[in-house]
Chains A and B, each alone.
Chain A
C-alpha cells in the first residue's frame, strides 16, 4: 500500500503486557465482524450458510455462538 501502510500488518497491536489470547480473539472477531456484517451490499440481505446451516447474519455473537454450538453437535454426531 502506498505511503508505507502495509495492509497485511494484521496482528493486533498493543503493549506486550496485554493478554495475547484476548488479542487473538479480538483480531478474529474484528475480521469476521467486518467481512460478514460491514462493507457494500450489492444484492440485499444475504443468507450465510455456516457449518451447513443457513443463517441470516444477525450479529457476531450469535454467529460465533452458533459456530461453536454447531461444531460441538457435529463432533458428537461423528462420534455416535
Chain B
C-alpha cells in the first residue's frame, strides 16, 4: 500500500483521532526520523480536484494548529512508508532549516489589483500582420505594457514591505501574471504579530487610491518551505 503525504511535523505533533483527509481517508502519523509525516494510505496517487485540494489543506491546517509544520504540496505519493522515510532523510538538512524558518509563523497572501478596469493591451491583430514592421511594432507595444505592469507590481510590493517593516519576517513576490493581478505577495508573519500585520495592511489598503490589496490567510507556510 502506498503512502500519501500531507505535511511534516514535529515528533510530538500527532494527528488527532478521527482526522480524515483526501477522499475521507484516515490520517495517521508515519515516523520519518527525526520528524513525523501526516499521511494516508492510498493504492495510487490521487488526482487533483478542488475538493481534494481543500481536504489536503485542511489536514495541513490541523497540523499547523498543533505546532511547526512543513506543508507538503498536493500529489506527493510514495510506494511505501520506507520509501517516504528514505526520501525525507535525504532532505533532512533542508527540512530542518525550513522548520527553523517557519517556526511560530503563519503565511498571508496579498494580491495587488488595479482599482480601475484593466486597460487591455491590444492583441497582435490582422492589421498588424500587413507588414513586418507593423507586426514588430505591435510586439514591442505588448512587451512594453507587460514591463510596465510588472514594474507596478514590484513598486507596490516595495511600498508594502516598507510599511510592514519587521512585521513581515520574510516575503515572496511574484509578478508577470497575465491576468488582472499586478503582484502576488506571500508574507511570513509571527503569530504574535498577526493583529499588527492586519492593521498595517488595512492602512495600506486605505492609502492606495489606484490599487486594491486583497488579503487572504492565515495559511500554513506553503511559500516558505521549498
| A3 contacts across to B, CB distance below 8 A | 191-192, 194
Tier of interface size on chain A: 35 or more
Q: When the two chains form their complex, are residues A14 and B48 in contact, meaning their CB atoms are under 8 A apart?
A: no
In chain B between 186 and 213, which residues have their CB closer than 8 angstroms to a CB of chain A? 191-192, 194, 198, 202, 205-206, 212-213
In chain B between 62 and 115, which residues have their CB closer than 8 angstroms to a CB of chain A? 62, 64-65, 70-78, 84, 87-88, 91, 95, 98, 106-107, 109, 111, 113
Interface secondary structure of B, over-half rule: mixed
A17 to B143, CA, bound (A): 33
Q: When the two chains form their complex, are residues A34 and B57 in contact, meaning their CB atoms are under 8 A apart?
A: yes
Which residue of the partner chain, among B47, B60, B77, B218, contacts A52 with CB atoms under 8 Å? Answer: B47
A73: Cβ under 8 A from any B Cβ? no
B154: Cβ under 8 A from any A Cβ? no
Q: When the two chains form their complex, are residues A5 and B73 in contact, meaning their CB atoms are under 8 A apart?
A: no
A-B contact pairs, 21 of them (CB 8 A): A3-B194, A5-B218, A6-B218, A7-B61, A12-B216, A13-B198, A14-B202, A14-B205, A30-B111, A34-B71, A34-B219, A35-B57, A36-B48, A37-B73, A39-B222, A40-B226, A42-B87, A43-B87, A46-B75, A50-B47, A52-B47
Q: Residues on B close to A: CB < 8 A?
A: 5, 7-8, 45, 47-50, 53-54, 56-57, 60-62, 64-65, 70-78, 84, 87-88, 91, 95, 98, 106-107, 109, 111, 113, 177-179, 184, 191-192, 194, 198, 202, 205-206, 212-220, 222-223, 225-226
- 9 A-B pairs besides A14-B212, A40-B91, A49-B47 with CB distance below 8 A are A15-B202, A31-B54, A36-B73, A38-B223, A39-B60, A40-B70, A40-B95, A47-B75, A49-B48
Q: Residues on A close to B: CB < 8 A?
A: 1-15, 18, 22-23, 26-43, 46-50, 52, 61
